[in-house]
């Protein structure tokens, strides 16, 4: 007669039924120095994320014991700031590499859900004026609502033979369009564009363009480099400056626009999963786009908490601007008139 064999759930024997969290790691057991060196952020910041994302990350599972929000957040921060699922990272918080991957996915989606809460243009007139004043204080460029540019992030080749993600250097990437303020706070981030698209084509199709053409043109403009077309709401440098006023305009434009380049360097330096030094993001374009956006959200939250400062350039393989663009000539006569009026009013 066959004897039935019972497969025992050790967690069930020890803890009984119900969704219980497995506290693999205690924040209070380690120093701030350890947290910063291992996960990139101090205790106060991590506790804020636990409060912000805890309810979302505590969704019921079919497992008898779920991974706590605290552990999930530490796992994700470890990946974002180191760029790898190293065994030692999982060992430090007591989870497997597979669990690390699930934690990154959960935290990434929770952050993406809150992107509009932390990445947006100011709405009220007083804040908009403060935005302009802060930019003017940098190099004397008036009316600036933000500086815009694109940066490429390397990804693995999609499973499908899709050449749209192959950029001009022959690498697979996402071309990410971002706008920041004078402190490097991101005001807009579109991280999903295929790497084959040049910057001007990304902007042409971007939500940012429709926003500025229908909603956000508040007697001001963005600053973009010569890879973009001049628009009434987007001031670009003069291709061949001749008069002193034109030189002064270009110098003020360059000094102000440099903020976005420094912001890109800061983001890649803090979030090493984006800088290419650990290889490409090993995800589909959609998931890679979400990881980039999640890092953008964390960048803004870190600035809100006074944690971020301008940092040295990252040592990764991806440069801020992948393409060797040609000077774009505007055919928008109204945009040319707006720029000429700016030259005469403020730089003559």
- Which letter, b or e, does each residue of 254-289 get, where b requires 16 or more Cβ atoms within 10 Å of its Cβ? eebbebbbebbbbbbbbbbbbbbebebbebebebbb
Helices (H), 164-222: 199-205, 207-214
Contacts 24+ apart (CB under 8 A), 239-244: 239/327, 239/329
Dist. CA 33–CA 48, nearest whole Å:
17
Helix (H) or strand (E) segment spanning residue 154: strand 144-154
pLDDT band, very low/low/confident/very high, at 331 (cuts 50, 70, 90): low
**317, pLDDT greater than 70:** no
**The sheet that has 234-235: what strands, in order across it?**
186-194, 173-180, 144-154, 221-223, 234-235
- Return the pLDDT at 191: 98
Question: For 103-128, what is each residue's pLDDT tens digit?
Answer: 999 999 999 999 999 999 998 999 99
pLDDT band, very low/low/confident/very high, at 259 (cuts 50, 70, 90): very high
Question: For 46-101, what is each residue's pLDDT tens digit?
Answer: 999 999 999 999 866 545 457 889 999 999 999 999 887 655 566 667 778 888 88
Dist. CA 299–CA 78, nearest whole Å:
15
Dist. CA 172–CA 333, nearest whole Å:
37
| DSSP, residue by residue, 230-242 | -BTTEE---SS--
Question: With a threshold of 0.85, does the pTM exceed it?
Answer: yes
How far CA 290 is from CA of 161, 176, 189, 281, 302, in Å, comes to 21, 11, 11, 11, 18
pLDDT band, very low/low/confident/very high, at 14 (cuts 50, 70, 90): very low
- Return the pLDDT at 303: 95
Report the pLDDT averaged over residues 191-204: 96
- Please name every residue paired with 20 in a beta bridge, in sequence order, or none if there are none: 65
């Amino acid at each position: 007669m066959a004897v039935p064999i019972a497969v025992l759930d050790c967690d069930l024997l020890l803890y009984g039924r119900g969704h219980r969290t497995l506290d693999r790691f205690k924040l209070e057991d380690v120093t701030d120095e350890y947290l910063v060196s291992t996960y990139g952020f101090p205790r106060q910041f991590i506790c804020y994320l636990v409060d912000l994302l805890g309810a979302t990350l505590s969704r019921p599972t079919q497992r008898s014991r779920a991974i706590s929000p605290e552990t999930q957040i530490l796992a994700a921060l470890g990946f974002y700031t180191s760029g790898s699922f190293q065994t030692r990272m999982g060992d430090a918080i007591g989870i497997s590499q597979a669990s690390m991957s699930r934690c990154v996915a959960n935290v990434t989606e929770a952050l993406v859900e809150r992107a509009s809460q932390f990445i947006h243009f100011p709405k009220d007139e007083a804040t908009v004026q403060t935005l302009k004043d802060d930019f003017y204080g940098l190099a004397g460029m008036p009316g600036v609502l933000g500086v815009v540019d694109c940066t490429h992030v390397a990804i693995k080749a999609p499973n499908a033979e899709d050449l749209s993600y192959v950029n001009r250097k022959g690498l697979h990437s996402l071309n990410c369009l971002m706008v920041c303020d004078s402190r490097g706070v991101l005001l807009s981030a579109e991280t999903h564009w295929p790497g084959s698209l040049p910057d001007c084509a990304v902007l042409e199709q971007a939500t940012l363009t429709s926003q500025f053409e229908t909603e956000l043109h508040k007697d001001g403009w963005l600053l973009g480099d010569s890879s973009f077309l001049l628009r009434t709401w987007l001031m670009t440098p003069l291709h061949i400056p001749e008069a002193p006023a034109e030189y002064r305009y270009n110098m003020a434009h360059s000094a102000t626009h440099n903020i976005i380049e420094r912001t890109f360097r800061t983001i890649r330096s803090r979030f090493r999963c984006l800088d290419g030094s650990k290889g490409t993001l090993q995800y589909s374009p959609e998931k890679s786009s979400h990881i980039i956006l999640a890092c953008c959200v964390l960048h803004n939250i870190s600035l809100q908490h006074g944690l971020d400062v301008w940092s040295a350039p990252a040592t990764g393989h991806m440069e801020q601007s992948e393409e060797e663009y040609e000077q774009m000539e505007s055919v928008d006569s109204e945009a040319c008139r707006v720029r000429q009026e700016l030259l005469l009013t403020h730089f003559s």
